[in-house]
Amino acid sequence: MVEAYQLFIDGAWRPSSTGETLPAINPFNQEVWATIPSAGEADVEAAVAAARRAYETSWRQTTGLQRATLLNRLADLIEAEAPRLGLLETTDNGKVIRETGPQMVYAARVFRYFAGYADKLYGSVIPLDQRGMMDLALREPYGVIAAITAWNSPIALMSNKVPAALAAGNCVVIKPSEHASVTTLEFCKLVEKAGFPPGVINVVTGDARVGKALVGSPGVDKVSFTGSPQVGREIAAQAGRNLRPVTLELGGKSPNIVFADADIDRAVVGALAGIFGATGQTCVAGSRLLVQRPVYDQMVERLAERAKQIVLGDPRDAATEMGTAANEPQFKRILDFIESAKTEGARLVAGGGAAREGALANGFFVQPTIFADVRNDMRVAQEEIFGPVLSIIPFDDEAEAVALGNASTYGLAAGVWTRDITRAMRMIHAMRTGVVWVNTYRVVAAQAPFGGVKDSGFGRERGEHGLMEFTTTKNVMIDFSDEARDPFAIKT
């Protein structure tokens, strides 16, 4: 049975003004299992106007305690619905249920984290040169936030933005990817149950035209985007024409660096999880594995052996270890990169193509693929694949590891595996990335700020730094003296 979803605007469900819909396709069997509305510009403007009204008439008047109460209530609902939401997201984008279910619980944790900040948006008192005066720096919301998310983890990515924006006192218009919109729309049912005022949270769905209309709306005060650098550039340019600030969480080509003194058992697990978790469809995928030569052959052999044992299957089955590519365009893109690596001369040691046998026949499955003896200038080592393809690159010493690791246009994350604490500290400071993991990989926390540098974007999500992204500073000067004064005169 195909479920037909509607837009969520101003606290109500409504059909798209265009009357058009898009199919939600299960990447495991290519069956259409739901339809989502394709919004028009009129729908986008209605959502932005609803958010503006809610901000001006109700949400900005709420206390931090009131916002925290609603956010905590919503977190409870998300956690209670985690199994169902996880199943829906797995059906929508092919990520294994063993990941999507816990991601929903984690999303609830992030909502609770920012709920705790809602009544703690402290300003500061600034000492001045003039006597008899006080200066206050206040933190205030922007107003209306456009939150645009990607298809690989819709609820997790949404939770990086929305609870922080709401806790700070903003209202939001969310635009999920047209390839995975269902769970974001299902989330709105929980928003209704939680009792949020109409217009505080709105969702418009559709393709890139909807995102463009949202970013270009003069009623939007800030844009927060997760996606590719190519689209990020377009969004930054479009927002810049309206003089609107943006936060961009973009792609990566992250180096996962294994030194000879590392705990090899742990490094093997970290390397596998770093690239084959989420079918490699994550911005922090450790897609470049840099291995010091004394342990290079051992790492290649062990990784290739384990990759061949990874269980592919129905992502809704808890026994499945790796799911599908999320959609057909991404499936074809991954296969194109694999063929390119073969042409460039990389040595294939595992996988190398589509997986079509048996129950996998109708799905967008790619074999867990590993290339050894990769040069860092190869396309497979420089461009983001967003799939289960690992490039293993040898290095001799620490200086070469740093040079290779930083030789990328991206700068999102890096991993360092070593027992030498002094080396670890040197590597932490040397890597030009927004995140560095030491003796672990792909671990997240609500409290820990996340974001990149270079082509991986700018701004931060999660943690206190992520909260501040949704506030602006207002300065207040108070003269409590009983004399008229020259504002430029300083009395000592």
Q: Is 21 helix (H, G, I), strand (E, B) or coil?
A: strand
Q: Which of 260, 253, 252 is nearest to 291 (CA)?
A: 260
For residues 313 and 321, what is the distance between their CA atoms, to the nearest angstrom? 8
* Beta-sheet strand order (sheet of 471-479): 124-126, 133-141, 471-479
The label of the residue with tokens 């469809």 reads 281
Q: Quick check: is 171 catalytic?
A: no
For residues 309 and 314, what is the distance between their CA atoms, to the nearest angstrom? 16
Assess contact for 146 and 194: CB atoms under 8 A: no
Q: Which residues pair with 290 in a beta bridge?
A: 257, 393
Per-residue DSSP letter, 278: G
Assess contact for 249 and 282: CB atoms under 8 A: no
Q: Which of 95, 163, 482, 58 is nearest to 316 (CA)?
A: 95
Assess contact for 341 and 389: CB atoms under 8 A: yes
For residues 334 and 222, what is the distance between their CA atoms, to the nearest angstrom? 33
* Cα pseudo-dihedral 421, 426, 428, 429, rounded to 10: 150
Q: Which residues pair with 13 in a beta bridge?
A: 8
Of 186, 249, 384, 461, which one is the catalytic site residue? 249
Q: Quick check: is 249 catalytic?
A: yes
Of 89, 171, 283, 384, which one is the catalytic site residue? 283
Residue type, 485: R
* Beta-sheet strand order (sheet of 31-37): 3-4, 31-37, 21-26
Give the contacts of 77 (CB within 8 A, at least 6 positions apart).
190, 193, 194
Residue type, 362: N
Assess contact for 116 and 447: CB atoms under 8 A: no
The label of the residue with tokens 């985007």 reads 225
Assess contact for 322 and 311: CB atoms under 8 A: yes
Assess contact for 364 and 371: CB atoms under 8 A: no
Instruction: Please give the full DSSP string across 434-456, using - where no structure is assigned.
Output: SEEEES--S---TTS-B--EETT
- Point out the residues that are catalytic: 249, 283
